[in-house]
Amino acid sequence: MPTSPYAFIDELAALRRDLHAHPELAFQETRTADIVARELERYGLEVHRGLAKTGVVGVLKAGDSPRMIGLRADMDALPLTELNEFPHHSKQPGKMHACGHDGHTAMLLGAARHLAAQPDFDGTVVFIFQPAEEAEGGAAVMIEDGLFEQFPVEAVFGLHNWPGIPVGQMAVMPGPIMAGTCGFEIEVRGHGCHAAMPQQGVDAIVTAAQLVQALQTVVSRNLHPCDAAVVSVTQIHAGHAWNVIPESVLLRGTIRSFKAEVQETVERAIERLCSGIAAANGAQIRSLFDHRYPPTVNSAAEARLCQEVAQDVFGAANVLADELPSMGAEDFAYMLREKPGCYVWLGNGPGTGGCTLHNPHYDFNDALLPLGITYWSTLVKRLLPRAG
Ligand code: NI
């Protein structure tokens, strides 16, 4: 594992901690964006602002090759109150960098700084600092706002710190790495009545209970056993009184999958169960689906290239190629729908003591800063080599 070859690493760690102390939520990353833009300008990059409101793009050109690649970091924090007590803990109650996007931003800034000082490549690198990864799909908004028309990159690359993978290791896999996500809402409408006289009504609670049980068969009985999906009911809302059978029950939950056809099969199976169980009970059931992030799918050639880069940086034994994909979601998926590319997991160390993503005790591990910079810089030099 390389030691830090970067003289500015302490300054960068201080910047990372400053970002951690001042987290900003989706599309409100104005302070963060100001810092990112100021730094990029200071390193000599051309800076573009305004994509997806708070997005920042830095452009670094070397040599005369027309080739262009994109590197992306996310900048937003989570609506969560931090429970850490170290000096750089969040100064904003209800806002926290609990996913390490402060570290992603710092690592990409470090790569920009290093490559600007030693532009040992031929082509253009587009440094994409995007807002609103957590739930609002900032990547999709940047694309709608013309990211890839303005910066027609041939491929795009992303990185996430990963607690549970040791520092000095990286997971790089081709194909699906993060799931697509879809919310669902099901309203079961019966006929409310006195709890002591159930024969006078249609019991929405009993109907909903049957439905929750039946939903457990959607994945197990409808999908190929080697296809992955999750259907989880996460909310049940009904009733206010001890002695009233309520008129209706509201169920909500989430579906995770890696393929459009699997998602489609799951939705049709849910609809079939809803109408069958409604008929069996004399109730009415309406379902609706709220499609959110698509699956994050790495293209084969770019994943292979990133594997080679990671092997150069970390050593072959430290590059994991057969980690299971995560059922979590990631809005870099939108960029990978438009462009080939690869999203990797950089080990953040043990996921212990609450140091897991979205936990109120999480903190980005600053030991990753030089590793991330070296990964990004090596990737650029490999993809955009100087002739001779
Ligand atoms: Ni994240």
Strand-pair partners of 160: 345
**What CATH number is associated with residue 190?**
3.30.70.360
pLDDT digits (tens, 9 = 90+) for 328-364: 999 999 999 999 999 999 999 987 777 899 999 999 9
Distance 163 CA to ligand 1 centre (A): 11
pLDDT digits (tens, 9 = 90+) for 14-46: 999 999 999 999 999 999 999 999 999 999 999
CB 380 within 8 A of CB 67: no
Decide which of 261, 291, 321 is a domain's last residue.
291
The model's pTM is: 0.91
Q: Are residues 184 and 169 in the same domain?
A: no
Sheet holding 46-49, edge to edge: 46-49, 56-62, 123-130, 68-74, 155-162, 341-347, 170-171, 319-320
CA angle 357, 24, 360 (to 5 degrees): 30
Q: Are residues 307 and 161 in the same domain?
A: yes
Q: Are residues 189 and 45 in the same domain?
A: no
Q: What integer best gives the mean pLDDT of the chain?
A: 96
pLDDT number for residue 359:
93
Distance 343 CA to ligand 1 centre (A): 12
Distance 386 CA to ligand 1 centre (A): 33
CB 367 within 8 A of CB 330: no
Q: Are residues 170 and 193 in the same domain?
A: no
Work out the number of other CB atoms within 10 angstroms of the CB of residue 362: 26
Distance 354 CA to ligand 1 centre (A): 16
- 3 — pLDDT class (breaks 50, 70, 90): low
pLDDT digits (tens, 9 = 90+) for 272-319: 999 999 999 999 999 999 999 999 999 999 999 999 999 999 999 999
First to last CA, the chain: 28
**Domain count for the chain:** 2
pLDDT exceeds 80 at position 388: no
Residue that the structure tokens 């994943």 belong to = 303
Decide which of 291, 326, 358 is a domain's last residue.
291
* 280-296 residues labelled b (16+ CB within 10 A) or e (exposed): ebebbbebebeebbbbb
Q: Are residues 119 and 266 in the same domain?
A: no
**What CATH number is associated with residue 115?**
3.40.630.10
Distance 94 CA to ligand 1 centre (A): 17
Closest CA to 314 of 171, 168, 159, 107: 168
- Segments forming the whole domain that contains residue 13: 9-177+295-383
pLDDT number for residue 5:
87
Distance 161 CA to ligand 1 centre (A): 8
Q: Are residues 65 and 165 in the same domain?
A: yes
